[in-house]
Structure 1
Amino acid sequence: MNIFLKNDFTPTLDSLHNLLDKTTDKEVFLELEKNIKQLSKFEQHYSMLSKAIDASIIIGITDQRGCIVYVNEKFCEISKYSRSELLGQNHRIVNSGYHEKDFFKEMWRTIAHGEVWEGEVKNRAKDGSNYWVKTTILPILDDRGKPSLYISLRTDITEGKVAQEKLVEALNNSAQEEIKFMAYHDSLTNLPNKRMFNEDMTKLITHSSQVGQDFAVVFLDLDRFKQINDSLGHTIGDMLIQEVAIRLKERIGSRGRIYRFAGDEFILVFPGCTKDGMEEVSEELLSVFEEVFVLANSYQIFTTPSIGISIFPEHGQDFDTLLKNADTAMFVAKSNGRNTYQVYEAWMNEHHREALTIEQHLRQAIEKNEFEIYFQPKMDFSSERIKSMETLLRWKNPILGNVQPDKFIPIAEETGLIIKIDEWVLEQARRQNKEWNDARLTDPLRIAVNISALHFRLPNFVSLVEDTLKKTGLAPELLEIEITESSFIDNIDECINSLTKLRNMGVFVAIDDFGIGYSSLNYLRKFPISSLKIDRSFIQEIAENQEEIAIVRAMIYLSHELNLRVVAEGTETKEVIELLRELGCNEVQGYYVSRPVPKQEFEKIVRRINGD
């Protein structure tokens, strides 16, 4: 073939056929025939390849200014423009506006330097629809090495990108919903939170005002929750909150809405509910807590609620006032012994202010030496002598005057100040008894100190008792720790462990106010205790009530079967004293023997009764 091709000659099938027709040289004829076959085969392959490329690749060519000089059919098909509409137009004719300006600046910077650019571009078709193309732009350089043309090769990736966009949108929507849920719900219980309450109340107040309908706001606070947190840990406390939320939702259902504010505070709203209707609802709420809460398969916890109620519009016409008044009523319920409910009344505001004032002064009472210990003797029936006593705390504040224990003790327990107070009483009582016994006031006296359930359940309580005994030098057998049944209701095994350590030290332990708490005979037989104190509520009417006599007789019999001494509280008449003696009671404590008295008077009473 080289004999036919010159530098300015490009063979085609037509030119080769013309040469073939004119030649008479057999050798040249055969050579031409061979080249014709090869070229024909090449053009067939080229045609097939060109069609394949044109069918799958979107091709566009622009000049150095970005004007379109060539597009293939695929380009027209995806852009929905005809070739005549595209040629001569700037490439921005398909710009969707999706990409930032910096995106195209970087693309042009790359190709203007003769470099290949690759990326994904979102374009807009003639009908306004968008499509995505994966794009490669190849600069064609002139003799000076400058781009003269730009060939863009694109493949359609719209389906995948749309799916991706939908996925991202779905994820974003899901994330937004999650964020919104978190903003309006409590993370521990998934109950609506205070923010949701405020928004819901605004709508409810508007609606209720328009239709003339009442609704109730209920402030529910768990009793002694701080004690549970401090003694068993926040993990158990959180579990309890979750279980309370579950029970409330199951019991209330669609009749009302439950919100968790913080800690152990729940708010319940009952649309359409009047003051009269709240009595039944409140009793139902109290019943939610009658059954023990079993947590982590081992902790059995009894807890009760204090409930305060306000009614719209009688007790407030905005949610701040309604909530404040429900809170005030709840505080009164807590002050009245807990595990009860109160509907707001105007006088409660003063009661609440008084409680806050008491708390403020209570926090400084020890440092200002405002507490004093009184002593109430216990008389032993077998010897008719005083062999032990109970310490009782009294508080005289220079501003508030004499503050009764039933006012400040509940506040001390709720705020946790009771621990510091217990420690002070414990040390003062031991020091005083050591002084009396060293001075041989009478027979060795055992002194009893009331310890709060919160304090008893702390891990370091037994160590505190041991350290105080060492510091004061009081013999362990002359100390008695009085604890209520509520001290045992959470973690029986830990309580038994602490009681065992106290007994091994020689310290006596008494169960105070027996019969009014969560008594369990099964647990009682396991406790290493020394005595039971029958609550005064069983003693006060024992002389006139045969049922009370039967109950007290059973308590005394049970105690003796368990090798426990029995102390009867609240004994005020000779008739009651003699009846208790007949029933087999071991000791009595009450006004008949003596009221709680200061140190000097107690010394006189002991000398008078013991004859020393």
Structure 2
Amino acid sequence: MTTLHEQHDLDMPDVRHSLDHYYMVTQTDAEGLVLSVNKNFLNVSNWTPKRVLGKTIWQLFDEDEKAQNTIHHIWTQLQSGKTWFGTAQKQKRTGEPYFTNMLAVPSMEEDGSLARALFLELDITEDIRLKERLEQIAFIDIETGLMSRHKLESLVNDMIREEKSFSFVYLSIDHYYTLKELQNGTDETELTQAFANRMKRYFQDNPIARIGSSQFVILTPFGDWYVQGFLDFLEQQPLYIGSEALPLSISGGIVRYPEDQKSYVTLLEAAVMTLDEVRKQGGGKIVSLSATSHKVLNRRSLINRKLLTALDHKALEVAFQPQYDVASKQVKVYEALVRWEDEELGTVSPDELIPIAESNGLIANIGEYVLSEAARLAVRLEEQEGSPHVSVNTSVREFSNHPMKENMLSILQTEGCRPGQLELEITEKFAFRAEEEQSIIQQMKELQDAGVNFILDDFGTGYASFRYMQYLPISKVKIDKVYMNSLVSHPKTQQLVEGMIQFSKTMGLYTIAEGVETQAQFDLLVSMGIDAVQGYYIGAPVPAEKLHIRN
């Protein structure tokens, strides 16, 4: 080790040898002047003994403000007798920056003042450079050269912190895949690159991101008139693939910061909602967030803010809706439905509450609460003739982010409820995720083995319901209430519902119709062979204490 004077602190040969072998080692005096460095330090930093000895430790750090603040903080720690560990940006003799993981250790005098400081470092420059390259890849859409979704979020958050006003413009190419097919198999990359080039030409210096195969976001300080002018620009400057002009239709939504929404998540959510409204009206337009959508989003935001407090204060309630078994002419199941009555919000329905709880991570808390209430009712029902079961809606988040099987069995044990007394209802969205995650299916099968039945809810609304029945442990299906409104008046609806009932029977599945509100609907479903019905015709959801249960 190169030194100005004899070393006292590192007088154990084995320790000195190990440090010299693995680390860059630097030692300074109480003023921060370099007393000694080892060969590893010289090799990495390109300093020579003659030039480095006697310099201050500050001169070995990069000259930028962040690096200088780091060494100032390190030195303050050392003077107070504390060690420091972290990443430091240093400077080679040539001025080139490099990065190290650094441990700084003080050696103190008897009076508590700093005597010397020892710096042990590992060169991590290559790791930092690799991370920067990976971030560059993550922040750039390779096909178009536009920003990625990750970079967009980072940029929007920076602009919000700097309190910059801007419009968040969400654009989508209508009928994207159909358009490619019409163009005789047009290459997807060619199409998106051509469209990206048009956006770059029109919006010029405004940041543009590609966040989906045919979805893009522009951040611009200009008003609606400027953004909507892009459609006129596309008419004057159409896209050509080969020699053919594409019949391009663009839909979009404009949301303003800070007037409309105040975070990246809510800006994106509002823009998507606006785009959906445009699509429902036929597409081909770029419009601003409507007053109705603004109201809906504000309500969602309020629900999101108040939900945790509502859980803490036990403001949520569980109501139970009866399900009538046609064969036995008895109520065989009660479905547990979470309710929230709030002074400011009014009634918050499950359809409104559950998606918000899924997005903010509180769905597991709600699920545990509902399961506990359902288990308590199931224990009371055990004493009744026929032992009606209780069904509970469950979210895929409860299975994928939490050990649902263990949680559920623990709750049942606490409440003294047999697993066979409860049923779990899953949606098509749940089934789709279960297909991707084997651990979800495994938990479902283990719960089924314990006695829990699974019901596929909203049957008939998804494109792949039939496929799910092949591998998920489903014993019942619920025909969605959307079919009930036209069941009596539309023959095609009748044929469809009867077909679903007969299909379910061939699969050995118990079939339930939900949303039944009239005698005519009930009679028609019974004639079709339905197993059970649920809806206001049978009974409205009510709290457990209002159910007619013998004690």
TM range (shorter): 0.5 to 0.7
Q: What pairs with 1:344-359 in structure 2 (closer than 5 Å)?
A: 344-346=289-291, 348-359=293-304
Q: Deviations over 1:115-136 (max 9, x none)?
A: xxxxxxxxxxxxxxxxxxxxxx
Find the aligned partners of 1:543 and 1:587 in 2 and give their Cα distance: 18
Find the counterpart in structure 1 of residue 406 from structure 2.
Answer: 463
Find the counterpart in structure 1 of residue 228 from structure 2.
Answer: 274
* Count of aligned residue pairs for this structure pair: 368
3-state SS, counterpart of residue 468 of structure 1: helix
Cα 1:182–1:482 shift into 2, 3 Å: closer
> Is the aligned partner of 1:592 residue 2:546?
no
Cα 1:463–1:416 shift into 2, 3 Å: same
- Matched to 1:259, the amino acid is A
Find the counterpart in structure 1 of residue 238 from structure 2.
Answer: none
Find the aligned partners of 2:368 and 2:210 in 1 and give their Cα distance: 34
Find the aligned partners of 2:190 and 2:351 in 1 and give their Cα distance: 32
Find the counterpart in structure 2 of residue 563 from structure 1.
Answer: 508
Q: CA deviation at 1:383?
A: 1.3
Find the aligned partners of 2:194 and 2:404 in 1 and give their Cα distance: 38
Q: CA deviation at 1:336?
A: 10
- Matched to 2:379, the amino acid is K
Q: What pairs with 1:253-264 in structure 2 (closer than 5 Å)?
A: 253-256=196-199, 258-259=208-209
Unpaired stretches in structure 2, ≥5 consecutive residues:
1-46, 52-93, 95-128, 160-166, 173-187, 201-207, 236-250, 280-286
Q: What pairs with 1:7-156 in structure 2 (closer than 5 Å)?
A: none
Q: Does the 8 Å CA contact 2:171/2:253 hold for their aligned counterparts?
A: yes
3-state SS, counterpart of residue 256 of structure 1: helix
Q: CA deviation at 1:590?
A: 0.4
3-state SS, counterpart of residue 540 of structure 1: coil
- Matched to 2:269, the amino acid is F
Find the aligned partners of 2:416 and 2:191 in 1 and give their Cα distance: 52
Find the aligned partners of 1:339 and 1:505 in 2 and give their Cα distance: 46
Find the aligned partners of 2:452 and 2:140 in 1 and give their Cα distance: 42
Cα 1:520–1:355 shift into 2, 3 Å: closer
Q: Deviations over 1:302-329 (max 9, x none)?
A: xxxxx9721xxxx76xx76688599657
Q: CA deviation at 1:431?
A: 1.4
Cα 1:573–1:558 shift into 2, 3 Å: same
Q: CA deviation at 1:498?
A: 2.6
- Matched to 1:402, the amino acid is T
Q: Deviations over 1:12-42 (max 9, x none)?
A: xxxxxxxxxxxxxxxxxxxxxxxxxxxxxxx
Q: Does the 8 Å CA contact 2:253/2:271 hold for their aligned counterparts?
A: no
Cα 1:593–1:180 shift into 2, 3 Å: closer
Q: Deviations over 1:209-234 (max 9, x none)?
A: xxxxxx981189xxxxxxxxxxxxxx
3-state SS, counterpart of residue 541 of structure 2: coil
Q: CA deviation at 1:348?
A: 4.3
**Residue 421 (structure 1) aligned to one of 345, 360, 366:** 366
Cα 1:247–1:551 shift into 2, 3 Å: farther
Find the aligned partners of 2:452 and 2:190 in 1 and give their Cα distance: 41
Q: Does the 8 Å CA contact 2:376/2:417 hold for their aligned counterparts?
A: yes
- Matched to 1:387, the amino acid is K
TM-score scaled to structure 2, two decimals?
Answer: 0.56
3-state SS, counterpart of residue 474 of structure 1: coil
Q: Does the 8 Å CA contact 1:335/1:410 hold for their aligned counterparts?
A: no
Cα 1:180–1:468 shift into 2, 3 Å: closer
Find the aligned partners of 2:416 and 2:190 in 1 and give their Cα distance: 51
Q: Does the 8 Å CA contact 2:461/2:480 hold for their aligned counterparts?
A: yes
**Residue 326 (structure 2) aligned to one of 354, 378, 381:** 381
TM-score scaled to structure 1, two decimals?
Answer: 0.51
Find the aligned partners of 2:399 and 2:171 in 1 and give their Cα distance: 29
Q: Deviations over 1:353-374 (max 9, x none)?
A: 3322221110121220101110
Unpaired stretches in structure 1, ≥5 consecutive residues:
1-101, 107-164, 166-176, 202-214, 221-244, 282-306
3-state SS, counterpart of residue 513 of structure 1: strand
Find the counterpart in structure 1 of residue 253 from structure 2.
Answer: 309
- Matched to 1:274, the amino acid is Q
Cα 1:323–1:506 shift into 2, 3 Å: closer
Find the counterpart in structure 2 of residue 538 from structure 1.
Answer: 483
Q: Does the 8 Å CA contact 2:377/2:390 hold for their aligned counterparts?
A: no
Find the aligned partners of 1:548 and 1:467 in 2 and give their Cα distance: 43
Q: CA deviation at 1:179?
A: 11
**Mean CA deviation greater in 490-499 or 177-186:** 177-186
- Matched to 2:546, the amino acid is E
Find the aligned partners of 1:602 and 1:334 in 2 and give their Cα distance: 42
Q: Does the 8 Å CA contact 2:396/2:433 hold for their aligned counterparts?
A: no
> Is the aligned partner of 1:368 residue 2:320?
no
Find the counterpart in structure 1 of residue 470 from structure 2.
Answer: 525
**Mean CA deviation greater in 398-407 or 534-543:** 398-407
Q: CA deviation at 1:384?
A: 1.1
> Is the aligned partner of 1:450 residue 2:401?
no
Provide the aligned C-alpha RMSD in A: 4.8
**Mean CA deviation greater in 352-361 or 333-342:** 333-342
- Matched to 1:462, the amino acid is K
- Matched to 2:396, the amino acid is A
3-state SS, counterpart of residue 259 of structure 1: strand
Find the counterpart in structure 2 of residue 477 from structure 1.
Answer: 420
Q: CA deviation at 1:436?
A: 3.2
Q: Deviations over 1:543-565 (max 9, x none)?
A: 11111111111111111111100
Cα 1:520–1:358 shift into 2, 3 Å: closer
Find the aligned partners of 2:141 and 2:508 in 1 and give their Cα distance: 46
Moved over 6 A (4+): 177-185, 195-198, 245-248, 269-272, 333-342
**Residue 575 (structure 1) aligned to one of 517, 520, 528:** 520
Cα 1:421–1:252 shift into 2, 3 Å: farther
**Mean CA deviation greater in 448-457 or 384-393:** 448-457
Cα 1:566–1:251 shift into 2, 3 Å: farther
